[in-house]
Amino acid sequence: MASREVRAIGQAGWGRTLGAAAISLIYFFPVLFIIMTAFKTRSDALAWPIKFIFTPTLSNFISVFFRVTVEGGAAEATGFGLYFFNSLFIGGTSVLLALIIGTSAAYGFSRFPLRGNDTYLFMILTTRMMPPIIAIIPIFVLFNVFGLSGTYIGIIALYTAFNLPFSIWMVKSFFDDLDRDMEDAARMDGSSEWKVFRKICLPQVYAGLAATFVFAVILTWNEFVFALLLTGTQTRTVPVQIVRTIGGALGVDWGLLSALETLFIIPVVLVTFALQNQLLRGVTFGTIRR
Amino acid sequence: MTSLTPVQIPPQTIAAAPSPRRSARGFLGWLMAPERRGPMLVAPAIATLIVVNIFPLLWSYGLSFFSYNAKYINRPPRWIGLDNYVDAFTDPEVWDRFTNTAVIVIGSVAVQLVVGFLLALLFAREFPLRRYLLMLVLAPMMLSLSAVGVFFKLFYEPTLGFIPRIVQTFTGVPFVILDTPTKAIIAIICADAWMWSPFVMLLVLAGLVSVPKYLYEAAEIDRASTWRRFRTITFPYIRSLLLLALLFRTIETFKIFDVPYVLTEGGPGTSTETISVYLFRLAFNYFRTGRASALGYIVLFGVIVLTSLYLYAIQTRRSEAG
């Protein structure tokens, strides 16, 4: 398989590095600013001009999880531990389900095309491309009727369906890339279809499945509209709580909000780096490979 | 083939040859038959999508012909025929929201294409540390839309945000960004374009590296000018990807919800209320469920058209690439 790195044409020297570094840093500055603010004390955070050199403090991160009560008693836990757990639990479970169902479907679409295969795939992609707000109007009503809103089962079922189109298209693109000769050889030798899938096709797409998993977890981790309308106080995810935090009447606590955002985005930024080679495929739902 | 000497075939190969599987009988055997392999594999996925996606959509299709309020679940819907659709097409409010959305889409996608293209040219060549710098530029694309909304809300904050402060140091007067419709729309475009320009960059980069090297070598021999080389060699290769980027980003930006919802809440007035934000208000603040469903179907139709254009462009590119 050809290298999937973000490839380049020609060579350039350190001069290009300098230019690119300047532009990249400016481009990344909004993220950098938030991360810096997260480590600043309140007065440093509001100082002008922006302080680039300061003594870092972890107090903002502590106050994300623990709030000191007014009476000066013991610190009381904020809900954020729960919200981070919810984001991970809901994301992980729904993506795992979507990936299992999606891999089976992707293998079917790739190896045993149905009549009207492309129509099915198109419809599946459309359920993904449509504005979430359209789907959520009836879902919101149905969830209330069936008592599913605010439950883990409801939101996990919804996110499974939300991740399914993405998983199918992504995993199908990996199956499509495989060289068929080896499978055919195995069939000639009398391997059952299950064995062809399990021993030949699947091992070749493990890396792709891992990339799909991580991508889908990021998408779910970032998702806001469904979570806003369909999670309750116990199942609330991080993005919803962040947006609620800025809505507070007490005025914005910059340090706290930045610390929250930092905890929320740092995993994504790090994972993006690991996924760099699959990024093009991931952001286009597997429709563009190279 | 002259010799007809029988070849010694190992017995297990014969035994395994055509279809030696245990033939299960009954319903299970029927279900597992080779010709039902495809349908069986995709059935769970289709079933999930039907239950969680298609059924609610059909349900809201039904609702779009009724006057219905989701707040009072037990109050029966009242049949009003096509009134919701007629309203959606004639209401100046709806056109106003479509216009807001169109302005944001055109502005933002244009900026994304230009900035993404320039970034791609910058990163087209290999240079030391390229991989790491690329990560800094690609990061915004993977962030949460709502998180980006919060970012920019902080940056635009009139007294303490760094953007008004920078402007103030030059002009000397306080600079409020989100107070007029024009500035608010530009503010949203900036946030969205910042986030998604890397997407265009990624696609253009993919186009740039697909240009065969020998074409440039030939151009070198012919002493073609840089502009000519770009126009006749590079551009044809990135054209299809630029089109894909344009369509994909148009579809995605058309849905824009999180950024205006968090950043401006549709304001000032309703000047930045996009169609998604409007639908949200209609459905969940005013609870005009039937009407929102009808409008939703009109939007869905637009997205279906755009999606099929996008897939058509993908097919064209594949057949071009051979």
Residue A69's pLDDT band, with cuts at 50, 70 and 90, is low
Closest residue on chain A to B145 (Cα): A222
Within 8 A of B199 by CB-CB distance, chain A residues are: 283
Q: Which of B35, B41, B60, B248 best tests the A interface by mutation, with the highest count of A CBs <10 A?
A: B41
Residues B130-163: b if buried by 16+ CB within 10 A, e if exposed: beebbbbbbbbbbbbbbbbbbbbbbbbbeeebbb
At A65, list the tokens: 């999880």
Answer yes or no: do A177 and A137 share one domain. Answer: yes
Residue A265: closest CA among B168, B59, B146: B146
Q: Provide the Cα torsion A12, A17, A19, A22; round to 10°.
A: 160
Quote the pLDDT of residue B114.
Answer: 95
* Band of pLDDT at residue A9, cut at 50, 70 and 90: confident
Angle between helices B289-321 and A132-146 (to 10 degrees): 130
For A168, phi and psi rounded to 5 degrees? -60, -50
Same domain, yes or no, for A183 and A264?
A: yes
Asked if A26 and A126 sit in the same domain, the reply is no
**Which tops the pLDDT comparison, A16 or A168?**
A168
| A265 and A220 part of one domain | yes
Cis peptide before B174 (omega within 30 of 0): no
Model confidence at A89, in pLDDT bands (50, 70, 90)? very high
**Angle, CA A121 vertex, CA A116 and CA A123 arms, to 5°:** 95
Residue A3 lies in a domain: no
pLDDT in tens, B70-117: 777 677 777 887 888 888 888 888 899 999 999 999 999 999 999 999
A30 and A100, same domain (yes or no): no
Provide the shortest C-alpha distance from residue B234 to chain A (in Å): 12
- Give the mutation candidate from B21, B144, B199 for the A interface (greatest A CB count, under 10 A): B144
Do the beta carbons of residue B294 and residue B274 sit within 8 Å?
no
Last residue of a domain, one of A77, A94, A124: A77
Instruction: Decide if A179 is inside a domain.
Output: yes
Residue A67's DSSP bridge partners are A76
Report the range of poorest mean pLDDT among A64-78, A152-166, A254-268, B37-51. A64-78
| Residue A56, domain member (yes or no) | yes
Question: Between chains, do B199 and A161 touch, taking CB under 8 Å as contact?
Answer: no
B211 has a chain A CB within 8 A of its CB: yes
Does CATH number 3.40.50.20 belong to domain B91-287? Answer: no
Residue A85 within any structural domain of the chain = yes
**Mean pLDDT of successive 10-residue segments in chain B (322 residues)?**
50 47 68 80 90 86 82 75 84 90 94 94 87 89 88 84 84 82 91 93 87 81 82 83 90 90 84 90 86 89 90 83 56
Note the pLDDT of residue A249: 46
Q: What is the mean pLDDT of chain A?
A: 85
Least confident stretch, A150-154, A157-161, B36-40 = B36-40
A2 found inside a domain = no
The beta-carbon neighbor of B202 closest among A108, A193, A283 is A283
Domain encompassing residue A29: 14-77
Residue A140 lies in a domain: yes
Q: Smallest Cβ distance to B141: which of A109, A133, A283? A: A283
- Say whether both A232 and A188 belong to one domain: yes
Q: Are residues A145 and A51 in the same domain?
A: no
Half-sphere exposure of B321 (CA within 13 A, CB side): 18
Q: Which of A13, A142, A283 sits opposite B56 (nearest CB)?
A: A142
Chain-centre distance of CA A226, in angstroms? 14
Q: Do A176 and A222 share a domain, yes or no?
A: yes
Across B56-83, b (16+ Cβ under 10 Å) vs e yields bbebbeebbbbebebeeeeeeeeebeeb
Residue with tokens 């009836």: A138
Asked if residue A141 belongs to a domain, the reply is: yes
- Whether residues A176 and A41 share a domain: the answer is no
Please check whether residue A1 lies inside any domain of the structure: no
- In this complex, the residue of A34, A142, A192 whose CB is nearest that of residue B59 is A142
Q: In this structure, are A137 and A202 located in the same domain?
A: yes
Q: Find chain B residues with C-beta within 8 A of A107's C-beta.
A: 41
Separation between Cα atoms, residue A149 and residue A140, nearest integer Å: 8
Express each pLDDT in A208-232 by its tens digit.
999 999 989 999 999 998 998 888 8
Which neighbouring-strand residues pair with A68?
Answer: A75
Q: Which residues of B24-51 are buried (b: 16+ CB within 10 A; e: fewer)?
A: eeeeeeeeeeeeeebeebbebbbebbee
Q: Which residues of B touch A137 (CB under 8 A)?
A: 60, 70, 279, 283, 289, 292-293, 296
Surface of A (57-96) touching B: CB under 8 A: none
B25 at interface of A, judged by CB pairs closer than 8 A: no
**Listed residues A27, A56, A77: the one ending a domain:** A77
Give chain A's domain count.
Answer: 2
CATH of the domain at A111: 1.10.3720.10
> In 10 A of CB B8, how many CB atoms?
6
Query: Helices in A178-253 by DSSP H: which ranges?
Result: 180-188, 193-195, 202-204, 206-222, 225-230, 238-246
Residue A60, min C-alpha distance to chain B (Å): 16
DSSP A11: B
Q: Which amino acid is at B106?
A: I
Cβ separation of B138 and A276 shorter than 8 Å?
A: yes
pLDDT in the model for residue B16: 46
Q: What's at A280, amino acid-wise?
A: L
Report the distance separating Cα B274 and Cα B99, nearest Å. Answer: 8
Supply the pLDDT for residue B10: 52
Which 3-state string (H, E, C) describes B164-189? Answer: HHHHHHHHCCCCCCCCCHHHHHHHHH
- Do A114 and A26 fall within a single domain? no
Residue A164 touches chain B, beta carbons under 8 Å = yes
Size of interface A-B (CB pairs under 8 A): 302
Give the residue carrying structure tokens 């056109």: B95
Alpha-carbon distance of A78 to A148, in angstroms, equals: 25
Reported as a pLDDT band with limits 50, 70 and 90, residue A28 is: very high
One domain for residues A240 and A98: yes
